Structure formats: structure tokens, C-alpha cells
Structure 1
């Protein structure tokens, strides 16, 4: 643009000097044309910019490391051609925060549509937002430029790698008298379900005597009652950036893959559960039930768009605030941060399994709950067997 204007000024000055030196009508005509044509070209550009319409055509699913191809369709509804268009595309992985930019150029004839091909690939999973940020329209001489901000958007889902894992769900220590699930290892006080039968011991309640069996065995036997348990399961994905530095893209990607892999294993095993997270944009704690693998498949696109954000409180804080009166019995907490006081508080009334993603570290540590440290490189090995 600057170079074209410099050339034009030089040309205009040369034409003026030629006219002043020769005083001919040809030189006068040359000066007039040199002034009028750029003005007409500028007016042409201002008129035609309103005739531009753009939209995306994208194959919206790709795997990690695969190229996702798409095209930007530029329509010119005007009666004049658009000789120079520059389209500025921005790609943002909403899960990891990565950004990339790409410029594509074209010219569009009158009443025609031009397709501009582009491609992107990512080593990390996520929902990548594709935005047509600006369109730069220049006239044929390159003297004038109009910048449009259409804001046209689309997205590409980079699918995660779901790892195979074995998840064992233990009985909760919390009784739920409205539950239809009973503990297989603990006795209780619910007379509607029998845990087992044993010989009568002094001090046993006469209400629990199994009279029919006692009559057959000629000895007293008592029924051991069952304990109804609460086995609700919640997986929490941490979206808060609690430290000074944002987690790397590969850590965020590995966290989401672990989160979805646990959910896939639970759903495959017939365990109805819920997925929870704090939405940093909407500023509220979200919880969605997963009853089957199909439910999880339908949620993946939205989960891969969960953006992280700086916050003074973890997702556990918002969970406790919303569910303190009716908490879940089992919590699986996927994080890259060191759990704080909220974790200790949760362990007082439910079972907590922490999956802590770190760069370059791997291994298992046992605290008051199951605490598993894994890295993006060895996630499959570290999370192969999980006790919830």
C-alpha cells in the first residue's frame, strides 16, 4: 500500500512537470486522468464493500496431528469486480488457549463466489474457534484500503485420545436411606434387604431372628441387615488458573483426555455419573449427567471448548457452595494445581480421587484419598487402573 502510494505520487509529480514543461493538451489530459482515476477507484471500493458476504465450509472434526481442511467462501453481490481482497483468519484453541493466524488473498469477479482453501493441525485436543477477523479491500491501483470486520465464526473439533482404563467404584461410607443400592461389604440397619445370616449371639435383637431358618436348624439364627449406600459419582474438571503461570497446552490437553477417559470407562461399565466444571465465562458451576456412552459423545464438543481463566477459587469451592446440602458420594477431581483446603473439607463426607497432571512427573501417592500424579507422556500407564 505505501509503495503504491509512493509510486503514484512520483507519477503524478512527473505528469505535472511534463505539463508545465510542455504545456501540451496531452500532458494536461495525463494529469487529469492521473487525478480522476484514483478518485473513481476509491468511490468504486466504498460502493462495493457493502456487497461482500463470507461464510465458512469446514469439516468440523479431525484427530490430533491431522490436518483439518476448510474453505472461506467470499461472495461478491456487486456489479463490479473486487481486485484485491486480503482475509485475516484467527484460530484459537479454546481448551488450551493457543492462537494461530493465517492470511489468504484473492480477487472476486462481479456476481461470483471465490473459495479460499486453508488448513490447520494441532498436537492437542480442543475445540478450535475459526474467526474471520478482518477483510482488507484494496482498489486496483493499491492506493485505497477499506478494512471490514465481519466477525464470521466457525469451529473445528480436534478429538482427544481416549485411553483404555479399568475403573473400580467402591462403596461409599455415607448411608442414603432412599437408595436402592446396598453395600456388599458393610452391614447396616435396613430390614428390607438381608446382608447375611449367622447364629444368634447374646445381645442380638429379637426382631432380627430368622424364625423360618431357626425352625429348620433347631437353633437360633439372626438376619444381618444391609446398609443402603449413596454411590453417586461426579467428575470435576478444574478450569481455574490458580497460580502465577498458565498451564502448558499439553497439560491442559492431557487433563481433558484423562477427564473424558474416566467418564468413558464409567459409562462403559454401566455407571451413571455426572461431569462438573466451573464455567469461567458464565461464572457458574455446571453439572451434566452421563447415563451412557452416547451421552458423553454428544457432550465432547462442548467440553473441549471449556476455557480456563484466572480465579481466586478452585472449581471445588464452587462445587461445595452449590452441593453442600446434597453432595455426591464419590468425587474424581482432575487438576494441574495443588489441591487446597477445599479438598480436605470434601474428604470429611465423601470419597475423593485426585488426578493431578504435571509436566515430567509420574507416579502414585496415597493420602487421605487416592492421589494419582500423571504426566502427558505416561498418562496411559499411570491411569490404567483407578479406584474411585
Structure 2
């Protein structure tokens, strides 16, 4: 843009010198005409910029290794045309935190729609956030660039390449609804099982009073009800890395979690996937009941940010009040050494699956539930 301003300034200076040295009015007419045309073009550009409508579109999902084509559509609802629009389309992988941008130039004739496609290739698996952070419109002479602030974004999912998973299931994995297990850590609302007995406090329901013990002890005793244990499996993605890790390690952890989930779906086992959501400061979880619900779950899972954190996902889970009332918890982590996990009598079984160099793409993982 600076080059066009210099050239336009030289153009005006030449005609000004010719008018000063000459004896006719033609150079002056050209000089004034150029100024009037430039001012008019600037005014039309500013007016036309108010009538722009921008949109981004991309495929919902692509296979890993395929190009992601992003279509930028510009609609000019005004009468005046825009000669040049300059934009940047940016792509951020929410799982690996890799970023890249593509420059784009397009025109916007009055009362018309124009579209242009940019592509991003060689992407790792993950949820892609595609944005148009800035758009500038330029007048015909290239003298002025007006920034059009638009919060335009869309998303696309790069599907993972699954690891081979050898799955072995036991009796504990199969739900037995005639013989429910109950939590030893949390009360619930099931009147068929007592969680604990304690003294009455204001606010307790009258129907929860244990009348026989109250009469026997002389103190008002309240019965807390039991909480049935969920027999489904929890895949817990530890997105709190012990140190800064490479995008390849982050991708490997996401792909391994997706691979285990897909193996459970193939075995007909319902489960949940959970991770720590730093934006909400809470533990997020999604249910996976079969292969038809796996892809929507992956759209959320593969957006989990993996960052260095001294606290593990289990510690975040405890701070957020999360309940681990599952038959089996599979912890997938990048930590080379995981602290021992205490297990209560009726607590879940824990299986720790380390990721990174410990997992071979060809051999995959063996998982016993």
C-alpha cells in the first residue's frame, strides 16, 4: 500500500510541476481530477465496506492426511464494488495447538457473491478451529486499507488413525442389574441401600429418620441412602502433561484414546470419556453408546488442550467434585511414571495406559478390563 501512495504522490507532483511551468490549464485539470477521483473512490470504498457479509465453510470431517479445503464467501449487498479484499484464513489445531495461516485476495463486485478456496495440508488429527481474524478492503488506487472486524469461524475434524487394540473383558465389565454395587464414598437416593448413619441436622427429611435407632439411642438418627455404582467404563484422558510435549505426543494421546473407545464400541461396551476442561475449570465428559455416537464424542475429545501442569487429571477431577463411581477407569497419560492410585473395596479398578514412545503404532495396546 505504501508503494501505491508513493506512486500516486509522484503522479500528482508531476502534473503540479507541469502546471507550474506551463501556460495552459490541462495539467491543473488532470491534477484536480485525480484528487477528486481518489476522494470519491475512498468514499465509495468506505461505504461499500459496510455492506460486506462474510462466511467460512469447511467439511465436517476429513481423514488424516487429506487436505482441508476452506471456502471463503464474500457477499457485497451494496451498489459499489470493491476492487481488492485482503484476508488471512487461520487454522488452529485445538488438540496439538499447531497454527498456520493462508493469505487470500479477492474482489467483491456490487450486488454479487464471490468465493475463494484455501487449503491446509499435512494436518495432524484434532479439532480444527478455522477463523478469519482480519479482512482489509482497499480502494481502486490502493491508497487506503480499511479493516473490517468480523468474528467469522468454523470447525472441522481431522479423524484419527486408530491404533490396534487387543481387548479382553472380564465379568466385572458386564453389567449385572440384579446385583448392583454401591459407592463407598458418596451417598445417593436409592432407598434399598444404606450409605451411612448419622445424627439429625436441620434440613434433613423426616422420612430419612431411622426410628428404631432413634428410640434405642435417644438421639435422632438419620439414614443416608446409597448410590449405585455405574457399571460403565470411564476413559480418562490426562491432558495435564508433566512437561512441554511435542505435537506428535499430543496427537498420539488423542489417537490412543479414540482407539480404545472404538475398540470398546466394537465390543458393544458403553462408556464415558472424560478430561479436564481448562476453559470451564471443570471436568468434561461425553457418553459413548456405540459407533454412531463416537464421532460426535471425538469432536469434543480432540479439542482438549494438552498443556504442562503439575496436577494430574485425577487431582483436577477431585477438586471439581467429580465422581469415579465406575466399574473400571482407564487412565491414558503422557506421564512416564504414574503415582499409585488407591482403590477402595467397592471403588473402580484402575488401568494406566502410558502413551508416547511406550506405544507402538504397529503393535498397539493390550487392555484387560
Normalising by structure 1, report the TM-score. 0.75
Q: CA RMSD in A?
A: 2.6
Q: Which residue of structure 2 lines up, in the alignment, with residue 193 of structure 1?
A: none
Quickly say closer, same or farther: Cα 1:22–1:347, change in 2 above 3 A.
Answer: farther
SS of equivalent to 1:344: coil
Distance 1:230 1:95 in 2: 29
2:127 maps to which residue?
Answer: 127
Which segment drifts farther, 349-358 or 328-337? 349-358
Q: What is the CA-CA distance between 1:379 and the residue it aligns to?
A: 2.8
Distance 2:170 2:318 in 1: 22
1:45-71 CA-partner distances (Å, limit 9, x unpaired): 111110111112322221111112231
Partner of 2:12 in structure 1? Answer: 12
Aligned to 1:39: 39
User: Which of 325, 340, 344 in structure 1 is aligned with 2:341?
Assistant: 344
**Residues 211-269 of structure 1: CA deviation (Å, up to 9, x unaligned):** xxxxxxxxxxxxxxxxx9985421111222442x2x21221111111111111212222
* TM superposition shift of 1:83: 0.4
TM-score normalized by the length of structure 2: 0.79
**In 1, Cα distance between equivalents of 2:57 and 2:25:** 54
Quick one: structure 1 residues 152 and 23, their matched pair in 2 at CA, closer, same or farther if it must change by over 3 Å? same
1:1-388 alignment runs, 5 A limit: 1-170=1-170, 179-180=179-180, 231-243=231-243, 245=244, 247-321=245-319, 327-341=325-339, 343-345=340-342, 349-358=347-356, 361=357, 373-374=358-359, 378-383=360-365, 385-388=366-369
Structure 2 CA distance for partners of 1:169 and 1:49, relative to 1, 3 Å:
same
Structure 1: tracts of 5 or more residues without a match? 182-227, 362-372
Inter-partner Cα distance in structure 1 for 2:284 and 2:29: 72
Deviation of the 1:103 alpha carbon: 1.0
User: How much has 1:276 moved relative to structure 2?
Assistant: 1.1
Change (3 A) 1:166 1:92: same
Count of paired positions: 320
Runs of 4+ in 1 over 3 A off after TM superposition: 169-173, 176-181, 228-232, 309-312, 320-327, 338-341, 343-350
Contact between 1:332 and 1:354, CA under 8 Å: does it hold in 2?
A: yes
